[in-house]
Amino acid sequence: MPYLFTSESVSEGHPDKIADQISDALIDNFLAWDPDSRVAVETLVTTGQVVLAGEVKSNTYLDIPQITRDVIRRIGYTKSAYMFEADSCGILSAIHEQSADIHQGVNRENKEDQGAGDQGIMFGYANNETENYMPLALDLSHKLLIELAALRRENKDITYLRPDAKSQVTIEYDNDHKPLRIDTIVISTQHDDFDTEPTMLEKIKADIINILIPRVKKGLKPELQNLFTDGIKYHINPTGKFVIGGPHGDTGLTGRKVIVDTYGGKGGHGGGAFSGKDPSKVDRSGAYATRHIAKNLVAAGVADEILVQVSYAIGVKDPMGIYVNTYGTSKLDISDSAIAAKIEEMFDMTPYGIETRLGLRNPIYSETAAYGHMGRKPKSVTKSFKNTLGEEKTVEVELFTWEKLDYVEKIKQAFNI
């Protein structure tokens, strides 16, 4: 029997995502000047205020208020009417040194013996619904908001957009779990105030359907474009008005959008957030490593859909175990547990091994903090950083290394595919 599945996304101007981006900007700045930095930073944003708290062990000092203001400005909070503005918001920093108890459990004289920065379970997932091996409903939800942000910055075809926005896509699947059509699209976008509310809502809905949707469809493969039928139900700003938004409309916190950050409800999630954590925190690095494994397994033809779980104890370098679930889609004549055993042989899943394999001690995290940590395109970029002494450093880094399909051939050889 056909069924419906829904995923959501939130824009870079959503309060929780502002918090994530500030936290990850601080991570990048610490790692740029001291790659061995240990950082766990949480951010809270509300009307006219930013509060930073957390633990840091690093050899560098940063202009934390300036970094914070730069992030807020880049997102687009540059007008006093938003009640949260880059140059005028108050910033309170309550960041202190990392606990010596945690530090002694992680640091080792031999870096290869580095212990996990926390206990926990992490999941990686991939399927073959999309070119980037991501669940389709989430992928479309992200694409809607990425394009909406582009329209806001262009300020040409749509001139009233403000930074805060959310999306949601519901897809109908057949009995074989193949997408049939898009059932519902929800878009809630913050906007300037209009003179008349009925006209405002009609214009926003028309612009979303006639401007945004065609731009998103244009970038999709024909088979995905065909899912956009005339029967789609649209809920555009369903409350009727969305002028008050951002941190003025809702307090934001780091790590509160973990399902948006990962797989939109498909697969699994261990519960730990990513943003604001250096890679010694396996909540982050373990999730990236398992995504890397799952994506390469699906791309190699091991299965159509794969979930990989890894677990750790704080201060212990080797994982407690690796679990694999192919949901009955495996193409191999071996069990899922045998696939897991082969993965343990192929991939070094110690914290140091993951950091080294994926280059996670580089300042690569600001780009992950909006529109999902998974399913993104690996690329090299040049980034510049300044410290409190006025020194400037320019580094070239590779983003989203866990999305590389660099183990496909190795996997095919290992499994005789």
Whether 399 maps to a domain, the answer reads: yes
Is residue 373 over pLDDT 80?
yes
Chain position carrying tokens 């580094």: 395
One domain for residues 285 and 225: no
At 294-312, the pLDDT tens digits run 999 999 999 999 999 999 9
Q: What residue numbers bound the domain in which 168 lies?
A: 3-9+135-245
- Choose the final residue of a domain: 229, 245, 261: 245
**Shared domain check, 283 and 207:** no
Does 170 lie in the same domain as 124? no
Residue 244 tokens, joined? 């008050």
**Judgement on whether residues 340 and 222 belong to the same structural domain of the protein:** no
Binding residues for K(+): 42
Residue spans of alpha helices (H) in 95-177: 100-106, 136-154
32 part of a folded domain = no
Strand, helix or coil for residue 283 = helix
pLDDT tens digits for 308-339? 999 999 989 899 999 999 999 999 999 999 99
Binding site residue list for ATP = 14, 164-166, 241-242, 250, 256-257, 273, 277
Tokens 């500030």: give the residue: 22
One domain for residues 302 and 395: yes
**Averaged pLDDT for residues 277-284:** 95
State the pLDDT confidence band at 98, using cuts at 50, 70 and 90.
low
Residues 398 and 365 reside in one and the same domain = yes
Predicted confidence band at 390 (pLDDT cuts at 50, 70, 90)? confident
User: What would the pLDDT profile of 51-87 be if each residue is shown by its tens digit?
Assistant: 999 999 999 999 999 999 999 999 999 999 999 999 9
Q: Is the pLDDT of residue 198 over 90?
A: no
Instruction: With respect to residue 110, please indicate whether it lies within any of the assigned structural domains.
Output: no
Neighbours of 411 (CB within 10 A): 22
Give the CATH number for residue 370.
3.30.300.10
pTM comes to 0.95
Q: Based on the domain organization, do 298 and 390 belong to the same domain?
A: yes
Please check whether residues 293 and 341 belong to one and the same domain: yes
Q: Could you identify the residue written with the tokens 């082969």?
A: 342
- pLDDT-derived band of residue 105, with 50, 70 and 90 as boundaries? low
Q: Is residue 255 part of a domain?
A: no
C-alpha dihedral sign at 192, 198, 202, 208: positive
CA distances from 289 to 29, 39, 71, 397 (A): 23, 19, 27, 18
Q: Determine the pLDDT at residue 389.
A: 85
Average pLDDT over residues 113-129: 89
Q: Are residues 353 and 289 in the same domain?
A: yes
Residues 300 and 339 placed together within one structural domain of the fold: yes
Q: Are residues 290 and 361 in the same domain?
A: yes
Q: What is the pLDDT of residues 131-155, one digit of tens each?
A: 999 999 999 999 999 999 999 999 9
Residues 401 and 308 in one domain: yes
Mention every residue, 6+ apart, whose C-beta is less than 8 A from residue 383: 28, 32, 363, 394, 395, 396, 397
Three-class SS string for 247-277? Answer: HHHCCEECCCCHHHHCCCCCCCCCCCCCCCE
Contact in structure between 128 and 223 (CB atoms under 8 Å): no
CA 77 – CA 74 distance, rounded (Å): 8
- pLDDT (tens digit per residue) in 157-175: 999 999 999 999 999 999 9
Give me the number of domains the chain comprises: 2
Binding site as annotated, residues for L-methionine: 55, 98, 250, 281
Binding site residue list? 14, 16, 42, 55, 98, 164-166, 241-242, 250, 256-257, 273, 277, 281
Could you tell me which residues are annotated as the binding site for Mg(2+)? 16
